[in-house]
Amino acid sequence: MKALEVKNLSAFYGKIQVLWDVSFEVEEGEFVTIIGANGAGKTTLLKSISGLISNKKGTVTAFGKSIEQLSAAKIVRSHIGHVPEGRQLFHLMTVLENLESGADYLPHAKREAAKTKAYVYSLFPRLKEREKQLAGTLSGGERQMLAIGRALMTKPKLLLVDEPSLGLAPALTKTVFQALKTINQEGVTIVLVEQNVLQSLKAAQRAYVLENGEVVKSAEASSLLNDPEIQAAYLAI
């Protein structure tokens, strides 16, 4: 079954069009990355899928169900998690409170909250150490771990991840990408938007290239690593 199928998706901010007939698909269990320069429309694409942008045209189907007309609240109840750009944490709440907020209004997730929290702590032991600390006092890497952990608390089958390495040191970037690979290997489908093209293509199975709001290329991630155009445009090779 396809975890996600996007067809002819166009999205707008007011009268300004940002996405132009974007189409792509993700099989259940896949790790797919969408790469592109800053301003290509990557964040807008994820927001359109997760219901944070309603001014759009086209179809979005997740696990066989049409979701393009659903609110963001209903989409997260459809087992679709979103790790937003910039983390978007509750800075005056503790690490634990941020995690619990991910499951609080989702009956299926709240039933398993204790088990999921233990899983998050196994992925990111530092969050356990910081459990009672305010999110606003965490380092950038810790905040990213918390943002991913909070999304996992919703018990997603499909996880949308937006720029997880933004502002992180190389060592923390490696930690975050390894966690995403582990999450995928344990059954969660991942769609990753990321400017760190090298890490993205190493982590993912397939990739789409977004330029000026349009998909211009798609291929196995490993083949794009050796694509001269991709190397010149994104890898400085």
Closest CA to 61 of 101, 109, 27, 98: 27
SS (H, E, C) 71-95: CHHHHHCCCEEEECCCCCCCCCCEH
Domains of the chain (ranges; CATH) run 2-86+158-234 (3.40.50.300)
Query: pLDDT tens-digit profile of 87-114?
Result: 789 999 999 999 999 998 889 899 999 9
pLDDT category at 237 given cuts 50, 70, 90 is low
Indicate the pLDDT class of residue 118, thresholds 50, 70 and 90: very high
| 177-215: pLDDT as tens digits | 999 999 999 999 999 998 889 999 999 999 999 999 999
169 pLDDT band, cuts 50/70/90, is confident
CA angle 156, 102, 51 (to 5 degrees): 65
Nearest CA to 120 out of 106, 139, 99 is that of 99
How do residues 38-86 score in pLDDT, each as one tens digit? 889 999 999 999 999 999 999 999 999 999 999 999 999 999 999 998 8
pLDDT in the model for residue 195: 85
Q: What is the pLDDT of residues 151-163, one digit of tens each?
A: 999 999 999 999 9
pLDDT at position 81 is: 95
pLDDT surpassing 80 at residue 19: yes
Q: Cα(204)–Cα(213) distance, rounded to whole angstroms?
A: 21
With 80 as the cut, is the pLDDT of residue 6 above it? yes
Could you tell me the pLDDT band of residue 233, with boundaries at 50, 70 and 90?
Answer: confident
User: For residue 13, what is the DSSP state?
Assistant: E
Q: Residue 170: pLDDT band by 50, 70, 90 thresholds?
A: confident
Helix (H, G, I), strand (E, B) or coil at 146: helix
